[in-house]
Structure 1
Amino acid sequence: MEKIQDRLEDLKFINSDTLKCLAIITMFIDHIGAGILLYLIQNGYYPFGMDFEHSAALYHWIRHIGRQAFPIYCFLIVEGMEHTRSVSKYMINLGLFGLISEPVFDIAVKVKKDVFSTDIFWLYAQNQERLLSSCNVYFTLLIGLAVIWVMKYVEDNLFSEDPSSPFGFSADNPFYVLLYAAPAVGGALLAYKIGSDYTWWGVTLIAVFFVFRRMRLMACLAGYLFFMNMGSEAWSLPAFILIFFYNGKRGRISKKFKYAFYAFYPLHLLLIYLVRCYIYTKLQGL
């Protein structure tokens, strides 16, 4: 059994920078489908001379590819909390970029009326009710980080170290287990209430990754078996396989580019919106 475990450890070749890049690429692909292709199809414009059925199939395959991004981001939140020098600063960064990203998130993938309008104020006015009922994924990640931060506090102050436990700790009082689970329940309810992207599913997935962080295989199995029940997230299986092969190393990308990863989210959403409007303008001119 130990030899098998050692062999599996040798196969872990993916660092955190690689996971981040894979998440960014698949997210970008996903938002091309959600922010451009979907709106074109809904308005009777089919790409590359295809008919509706083939266009719809292309859209669905693009979204399937995009399902890989979010589980990776959830896993990296747990890794980030474990290695950051300041959890509070980490939370501030997530909250700040969440606020920055919200306007472009709304116009890129959430609007339902006048979706090709270049008048952003008009676009907001026409979609106000819908836009006020949801918010972007940064807020889900922020809530998830807050949840596992509190859970870590409970571990450190109320649980006892237990080398024989696969979790690395044990509870002397059953009430402590309830205190341990309470932040995850509260965070999930908050995400559901504010309508953050992936809502309570996302917060719970972060909690699952955190609880099983010392057992990578179990974390991936439990995470996928839970997350696959959300819509089309069964297609996220490759992400969990990639996470299993994470080697715990950071990679070679300089820390100077840390904020570039944060900024990519609002910038690519703005690009999605602008390209959608540009394509529509060109199609109208034909």
Structure 2
Amino acid sequence: MRFNAYQLKLFAMALMLLDHIHAFIPGSPDWFHWLGRIAAPIFFFFLVEGFVYTRSREKYMLRMLIFTIIMAAGSDALVLLLPGGSIPNNIFLSMFAALMLMTTLDWVRQSRQYVTGSTLSILLSIVMVFFVEFSWLAVSMTLVFYVFRGRTAALVIGYVISSLLLTLGPYALMPDAATKWTYDELFILHPQWMMIAAVVPILLYNGSRGSSSKRTKYMFYLFYPIHIWLLYVVGYIDFDRGSL
């Protein structure tokens, strides 16, 4: 059984919802967070697909920038209204930066300005590491899905290796590395390595877009901020009741 882009995005949205329930609602099961590790890679995979197939990359980037600003402004306003928590989430910013990185790489390929293009790409990657959600993983997912697009085996190998290196690799460099391979470390504190499971739904992609109406086009753009803001409010209310 294989699935189109619309179906896989719905699947990723469901996993993302579970992940954010775990983030904002105290007492939520840890496996919500485990499943949530699969969501972002699926969205980045389809970000690359959208970059390749969109009629206007400029409009695509502008739309992502607009929702980046909306998400940031709305989150800041909500935290000011209901202080005590934080909303660090803004995948739109990560995706906007990823689009800029792919645009730069595409320009290098066409213009063959390798020195200038490589310098810009490296600088942009460094900015992403320090300023966007997912940090190094945002860079690696973008590069793997873009560079190896259409080459399934290379994409899977590149994705799995880069993901494991960036999530579990640092443990090997620590002086107390032997103490890091525990259940608490791998499944409670740092379960990001579970993102490698995203290769399964990605491999089940049938190459079809699925639904293409305007309603479904903006579904993710609207669902992402609304569900995070609602969960923040619910978590705030629960915490306030618990403190009484």
TM, length-normalised to structure 2: 0.79
Pairwise mapping of residues 21-40 of structure 1 onto structure 2 (< 5 A)? 21-37=10-26
1:157 equivalent in alignment to 2:111:
yes
Specify the SS of the correspondent of 1:247.
Answer: coil
Residue of structure 1 in register with 2:124 after alignment? 187
| 2:65 and 2:92 in contact (8 A); partners too | yes
Q: CA deviation at 1:214?
A: 2.2
What percentage of aligned pairs have identical amino acids? Answer: 28
| 2:82 and 2:236 in contact (8 A); partners too | no
Q: CA deviation at 1:102?
A: 1.7
Report the Cα distance in structure 2 between the residues aligned to 1:212 and 1:179, rounded to whole angstroms: 22
Report the Cα distance in structure 2 between the residues aligned to 1:227 and 1:105, rounded to whole angstroms: 29
Deviation per CA, 1:177-200: give whole Å up to 9, x if none. x55544442222112332x11123
Report the Cα distance in structure 2 between the residues aligned to 1:190 and 1:149, rounded to whole angstroms: 15
Amino acid in structure 1 at the alignment position of 2:138: G
1:81 equivalent in alignment to 2:67:
no
Q: CA deviation at 1:135?
A: 6.3
Specify the SS of the correspondent of 2:25.
Answer: helix
1:269 equivalent in alignment to 2:228:
yes
Report the Cα distance in structure 2 between the residues aligned to 1:64 and 1:106, rounded to whole angstroms: 27
Amino acid in structure 1 at the alignment position of 2:58: S
| 1:184 and 1:203 in contact (8 A); partners too | no
| 1:32 and 1:272 in contact (8 A); partners too | yes
Specify the SS of the correspondent of 2:58.
Answer: helix
Q: Of the two, which has the highest radius of gyration?
A: 1
Report the Cα distance in structure 1 between the residues aligned to 2:33 and 2:76, rounded to whole angstroms: 18
Residue of structure 2 in register with 1:63 after alignment? 33
Specify the SS of the correspondent of 1:252.
Answer: coil
Residue of structure 1 in register with 2:193 after alignment? 234
| 1:188 and 1:201 in contact (8 A); partners too | no
| 1:151 and 1:180 in contact (8 A); partners too | yes
1:205 equivalent in alignment to 2:141:
yes
Q: CA deviation at 1:257?
A: 2.4
Specify the SS of the correspondent of 2:71.
Answer: helix
Structure 1: segments with no counterpart, 5+ residues: 1-10, 38-46, 48-54, 108-117, 159-174
Q: CA deviation at 1:86?
A: 0.7
| 1:151 and 1:183 in contact (8 A); partners too | no
Pairwise mapping of residues 103-118 of structure 1 onto structure 2 (< 5 A)? 103-105=73-75
Report the Cα distance in structure 1 between the residues aligned to 2:3 and 2:160, rounded to whole angstroms: 19
Change (3 A) 1:68 1:259: same
Count of residues in correspondence between the two structures:
221
Amino acid in structure 2 at the alignment position of 1:192: V
Report the Cα distance in structure 2 between the residues aligned to 1:72 and 1:183, rounded to whole angstroms: 26
Residue of structure 2 in register with 1:120 after alignment? 80
Compute the RMSD of aligned alpha carbons: 2.7
Amino acid in structure 2 at the alignment position of 1:75: F
Change (3 A) 1:212 1:149: same
Change (3 A) 1:252 1:265: same
| 2:5 and 2:205 in contact (8 A); partners too | yes
Structure 2: segments with no counterpart, 5+ residues: 168-189
Residue of structure 1 in register with 2:9 after alignment? 20
Q: CA deviation at 1:153?
A: 2.1
1:260 equivalent in alignment to 2:219:
yes
Residue of structure 2 in register with 1:220 after alignment? 156
Amino acid in structure 2 at the alignment position of 1:254: S
